[in-house]
Structure 1
Amino acid sequence: MPDKPAGMRFKVRNENKNALGGLATRKQITIYFTQAVDAPSMEVLLYLPNHVSGPVPAFAGLNFSGNQSVHPDKGIFMSDRWINNNQKGIQRNRATEASRGSQASRWPVETLLKNGFALVTAYYGDLEPDHADGWQTGIRTSLQQELNLAPDQWGAIGAWAWGMSRIMDYLETEKRINSKQVALTGLSRIGKAAVWAGANDARFALVVSNESGEGGAALARRNYGETIAQLNRSFPHWFSPAYKNYNQAPDKLPVDQHQLLALIAPRPLYVCSAAEDQWADPQGEFLSAVHAGPVYQLYGKTGLGTAQMPAIEKPVGETIGYHIRTGKHDINLYDWQQHLAFAQKHFRKKAKPKT
């Protein structure tokens, strides 16, 4: 993955030390990728818990609908970028006030803050709009000279993952953040990007894949649920064009996703699935976590510690964690509670997660 551009800079646009009724400090930061006045940029939203002194751990991840969708907080700036119309409160590919807090069920901000964790997020479309022609206005085009990569040498998944590392660049400058305890998380396509970012950037201390499926945590050679061919047909912009060579021959892949997960070793990894989300292949996600285990063993770590698929909502694992819950493709409070417990375990915070 390419490094940060030489001219990258940060600007804190807004800070409110009494956000969410005093529970948090809210900061909004623009990351400019070059020194130019009209530089490509991404907007970062950061919530810090006010009741904890000293540097705090954080969960970081990209969102689907703009930062304003994460929480009803009216102080969050409204995204002015292109957004898919299939998201609530989006009209003519632009956010409206009705989108404020529309994704709040996926981001339990208060729960994270009460447990002493910061939350940092940015809209994935700031990096590349999620449609077949998005590369033309995203960083694959606007930064191709700075990154020394042609647009067709990588895909949108790579661009989104690259942006996650740029968030980490900022967090390393934020005194209230313990940059050695940043957990990276992602759902679905953003989960694919989170796994890729985690494999490439060892600064992320812990990585969470939430129903990332094909091209993420699920084994491609199982050819179950969403296949490589279906993925490339529906979303041709997500991956390098070379991936299409395996549309009809997944068995010819020289590697599979358990090897991608293994690149995160020896850092903690959590994989989660949903029982009704067969498109993402829960069994394939679990098996991928199982077969990443031998690499963890090379580091003297125990991976899952089992090869038996667990019962619904019975989490398993050691340095690799896994659960499958009831319900459909989504991320909910149950998922976050497991992520919190896993992070607290590995970040040496023993307190039981609060809700």
Structure 2
Amino acid sequence: MRYYILSAFVILALQTMNAQFVANYEESKVPEFDLPDPLTTFSKKQILTSSSWNELRRPELINFFESQVFGKVPGTFDGIAFEVVEESNSALGGLAKRRQIKATITKNSKTLSFLILLYLPKEVSRAPVFLGYNFHGNHTVINDPAIIISKAWSLNNESIGITNHTLTEESRGLRSGRWAISRMIEAGFGLATIYYGEIDPDKNDFTDGLHSLFYTEGQKRPAKEEWGGIGAWAWALSRAMDYVANDKEVDKSRVIVFGHSRLGKAALWAGAMDERFAGVISNDSGCGGAALSKRKFGETVAQINENFPYWFSGNFKKYNNAEEELPVDQHELLALIAPRPLYVASAKEDQWADPKGEFLSAYYATAVYSLFGEAGISSNKMPGVNSPIQNTVAYHIRTGKHDVTEYDWEQYIKWAVEQFD
């Protein structure tokens, strides 16, 4: 299918992190491009039924994204153990139960541990759960003195008191605005969250995270076809799912994986690879997430690979400044989640993440959902700001910047209740 430019607007802010790249924020400069048809295989066979999608198209798309974009996991792990290290039946003023679970992955006689923070509503016997990463430590998601502070390396963020790459008491609860935990509990949902830095520190160094467990003798970095940071974060979301799927107070059939920004990319890939996730929410995930790469609007493949060379597989770099050579685009990543519910969200001021590209990706993924009789995005005209479309494939663009807000969670919870009740 061929996509033509229909409108033009100019965003004056320049958000490139590297001076050699100049981001495009003008619709008039988006190139004309051929968008791959999700219902046509690489060998040009038409997909007409959900069974042929599952048998023919889905596996080849998974293989491409795995080998060329996010990277392959180099083997299987030896085991995982879970230990409840703290729990309370009177959290959040008595409305919730809280558990902190230490997960320990073993591979090649090496281990890596991370903490899952779990809140569950007391009045629900088997609760649906939102599962997702946080950026600055479990203790930042709510002002709860019982939450253990991670000792893992952290990106600095002086606005919430993080310096010297160290998490401290100073930042406790300072990211609570991004989580709406009380609202989740009131709606009958739980939250499971993990500090992503415990899985793989967000820096161009593959020696101190999950990857090192899987190295062969003498290996220092993943091979070109192997996983980067996003692949590792996605894989570990499935390890957290291993726990919640066996928690008798969690409804394992209603676990929704959520992510914002780079962690939205990880949530999409986790949801595509692991069909145990009942639904997926992508919040401002942008390039390499929900946004169409071929639009070359805002952040591009070259920019993301230059600024974050450790996020994707080495093979993905061959598409730097060559998005037209990609035989796939991100609408097909979204389509891999079908027929399970999918929510893509954007922010009006977050042009770096290309809201229109995120919307169009959800729109073009709808063709696959239709094979399963599921409703999606019926028009290629973007909805108005703060005017959500809430079908099996849902979308909204809200006022504001790159963030997760109370408005976002209001929509996600409402949608989840409708989809999973």
TM-score (norm 2): 0.79
Once the two structures are superposed, residues 51-91 of structure 1 have per-residue CA deviations (whole angstroms, 9 ceiling, x without a partner) of 22x21100000000011111110000011100001262212
Distance 1:129 1:35, change over 3 A: closer
Q: Distance in 2 between matches of 1:55 and 1:23?
A: 15
Q: Distance in 2 between matches of 1:193 and 1:346?
A: 22
1:39 deviates by 2.0
Q: Distance in 2 between matches of 1:98 and 1:22?
A: 25
Given the alignment of the two structures, is residue 258 of structure 1 paired with residue 331 of structure 2, yes or no? yes
1:278 matched residue in structure 2: 351
Moved over 6 A (4+): 35-38
Given the alignment of the two structures, is residue 44 of structure 1 paired with residue 99 of structure 2, yes or no? no
Given the alignment of the two structures, is residue 243 of structure 1 paired with residue 351 of structure 2, yes or no? no
1:343 matched residue in structure 2: 416
Q: Distance in 2 between matches of 1:189 and 1:92?
A: 22
Given the alignment of the two structures, is residue 116 of structure 1 paired with residue 188 of structure 2, yes or no? yes
Out of 85, 109, 116, the position equivalent to 2:156 is: 85
Q: Distance in 2 between matches of 1:338 and 1:4?
A: 37
Given the alignment of the two structures, is residue 294 of structure 1 paired with residue 367 of structure 2, yes or no? yes
SS at match of 2:79: coil
Aligned residues: 344
Given the alignment of the two structures, is residue 17 of structure 1 paired with residue 78 of structure 2, yes or no? no
1:35 deviates by 8.1
8 A contact 1:4–1:166 mirrored in 2: no
2:211 matched residue in structure 1: 140
5+ long unaligned stretches in structure 1: 349-355
1:38 deviates by 6.7
- Which is further off, 83-92 or 61-70? 83-92
- Which is further off, 16-25 or 288-297? 16-25
SS at match of 2:285: coil
Distance 1:307 1:15, change over 3 A: same
2:202 matched residue in structure 1: 130
Out of 113, 134, 152, the position equivalent to 1:63 is: 134
Q: Distance in 1 between matches of 2:182 and 2:366?
A: 34
C-alpha RMSD of the superposition: 1.7
> 1:334 corresponds to which letter in structure 2?
Y
1:239 deviates by 0.3
Q: Distance in 1 between matches of 2:119 and 2:174?
A: 18
> 1:228 corresponds to which letter in structure 2?
V
Out of 138, 147, 154, the position equivalent to 1:76 is: 147
1:111 deviates by 0.7
SS at match of 2:253: strand
2:23 matched residue in structure 1: none
SS at match of 2:345: strand
Once the two structures are superposed, residues 125-168 of structure 1 have per-residue CA deviations (whole angstroms, 9 ceiling, x without a partner) of 111000111x21111112346xx997231100000001110110
Q: What is the identity percentage for the equivalent residue pairs of Structure 1 and Structure 2? A: 49
1:336 deviates by 0.5
TM-score (norm 1): 0.94
Given the alignment of the two structures, is residue 167 of structure 1 paired with residue 240 of structure 2, yes or no? yes
Out of 217, 220, 225, the position equivalent to 2:290 is: 217
Q: Distance in 2 between matches of 1:16 and 1:143?
A: 35
2:229 matched residue in structure 1: 156
Q: Distance in 2 between matches of 1:156 and 1:330?
A: 21
Distance 1:285 1:91, change over 3 A: same
5+ long unaligned stretches in structure 2: 1-71
1:105 matched residue in structure 2: 177
Once the two structures are superposed, residues 27-57 of structure 1 have per-residue CA deviations (whole angstroms, 9 ceiling, x without a partner) of 00011002899721111100011122x2110
1:334 matched residue in structure 2: 407
